Homo-oligomer: A and B are copies of this chain.
Amino acid sequence: MSDRPKSIEICEKGPREGLQIEKAIIPTERKIALIDALSETGLKQIQICSFVDARRVPGWADVDAVVAGFKPRDGVRYSPLWLNEKGLERALQYKDRLSFRDAILMSASEPFLIRNQNSDSKKNAERQHNFVTILKENGIASESALIQAAFGCNFAGDIPVATLISTIQQAFDIANEHSITLKRVSLNDTMAWATPDTVKAAVGAIRERWPSLRVNLHFHNTRGLGIANVYAGLEMGVDSYDSSVAGLGGCPFAGHKGAAGNVCTEDIVFLCDELGISTGIDIDKLIAAAHLAEDVVGHALPGSIMRGGPLKQLREKLQ
């Protein structure tokens, strides 16, 4: 337990991951209401939207109105997703309201890159160079990389740790060419192949190679291991996690009908509260936001603590 972090950062992905995959189009003001509710919880990072082709992802046809409409709160970093130069240029119109992390987007699986981004490693590297260049021109240093399919891929199988490491090295190489040193890498378990053991192996190997590189973990709960994987990450000292309020979301491109959303934000906060790890998040406000998320999408979401309730009130009532 000595490796455990004292505190963690959570990057909320619910609005971006969750609101695009609903069959019904969600009204702009409801998206904004959810973002504004999340802003009040103590979360310091919220990915709020995607600048993507509205013909491909009609759920984000209103991205401009969402970004213009939400109330930014001091100290909270709001980020967009983009997949190509046009998307990035569109997002940069709002650079006074948005934060640009995870600028270098790699995949540890080439087959996934081909299917998901209609690209290959070479084309993707060129595109990432372009992103870094465009961001630099806007005064933004791309110090964070995101590795998709970091643990396994439905089209390539298990990802060996060596492949993950060489993918991260490629991200370093891209950053280096622009005289930037990567400070953070996000390991995204895009298709839910991670297990507590593969999490520990991957984090251990990264620590050995790049001791000061900050690791972020991003799990989907498709195979039910999300919270166990987070626990394994905590045991390895990882202090940064992506998650999704109420478990909103799922990846429409993963070629897998059972794909679930990210591990649930309030369930991670509950785990950390119980383990004595600080998140800076008010779990009651977060649970209220989770219920709002259910109301916004109009159906039940998979979060547990929003139904089971945290233990804090029970303890207080009994004192």
Q: Is A288 an interface residue (CB 8 A)?
A: no
On whether A275 and B196 interact (CB within 8 A), knowing A231-B228, A303-B224, the answer reads: yes
Closest to A273 in B: B195
Give chain A's interface residue range (CB within 8 Å of chain B): 35 or more
- Determine whether the beta carbon of B157 is less than 8 Å from that of A314: yes
Complex CA gap A158/B216 in Å reads 32
Q: Is A6 an interface residue (CB 8 A)?
A: no
Q: Choose among B157, B221, B270, B315 the residue that contacts A158 (Cβ–Cβ < 8 A).
A: B315
On whether A259 and B308 interact (CB within 8 A), knowing A228-B227, A271-B225, A314-B157, the answer reads: yes
Chain B hits for A223, CB < 8 A: 267, 270, 304-305, 308-311
| From A196, A267, A319, residue with most partner B Cβ within 10 Å | A196
On whether A197 and B274 interact (CB within 8 A), knowing A224-B267, A256-B308, the answer reads: yes
Chain B hits for A309, CB < 8 A: 223, 256, 258
Closest to A259 in B: B308
- Determine whether the beta carbon of B195 is less than 8 Å from that of A156: no
Q: Is A187 an interface residue (CB 8 A)?
A: no
Q: Is A222 an interface residue (CB 8 A)?
A: yes
Complex CA gap A193/B273 in Å reads 13
On whether A311 and B271 interact (CB within 8 A), knowing A223-B304, A223-B305, A224-B227, the answer reads: no
- Determine whether the beta carbon of A274 is less than 8 Å from that of B195: yes
Chain B hits for A196, CB < 8 A: 231, 275
Interface string of A148-181 (1 = CB under 8 A from B): 0000101111100000000000000000000000
- Determine whether the beta carbon of B224 is less than 8 Å from that of A270: yes
- Determine whether the beta carbon of B308 is less than 8 Å from that of A192: yes
Complex CA gap A237/B2 in Å reads 20
Interface string of A76-106 (1 = CB under 8 A from B): 0000000000000000000000000000000
Interface string of A225-239 (1 = CB under 8 A from B): 101101110000000
Complex CA gap A309/B1 in Å reads 32
Q: Is A146 an interface residue (CB 8 A)?
A: no
Of residues 297 through 319 on chain A, the ones whose CB sits less than 8 Å from some CB of chain B are 302-305, 307-311, 314-315, 318-319
* Distance to closest chain B CB from A4 (angstroms): 10
Complex CA gap A267/B222 in Å reads 11
Q: Is A260 an interface residue (CB 8 A)?
A: yes
Chain B hits for A304, CB < 8 A: 221-225, 260
- Give 29 CB contacts A-B under 8 Å: A154-B314, A157-B314, A157-B319, A158-B315, A192-B308, A195-B271, A195-B274, A195-B275, A196-B231, A197-B274, A223-B304, A223-B305, A223-B311, A224-B264, A224-B270, A224-B271, A224-B303, A224-B308, A225-B267, A225-B270, A225-B271, A225-B304, A227-B227, A228-B231, A228-B271, A231-B232, A256-B309, A260-B308, A302-B302
Other A-B contacts than A224-B303, A224-B305, 19 sampled, CB-CB below 8 A, are A1-B197, A154-B314, A155-B318, A157-B315, A157-B318, A158-B315, A196-B231, A197-B274, A223-B305, A223-B308, A224-B264, A224-B270, A224-B271, A224-B308, A225-B271, A228-B271, A231-B231, A258-B307, A260-B304
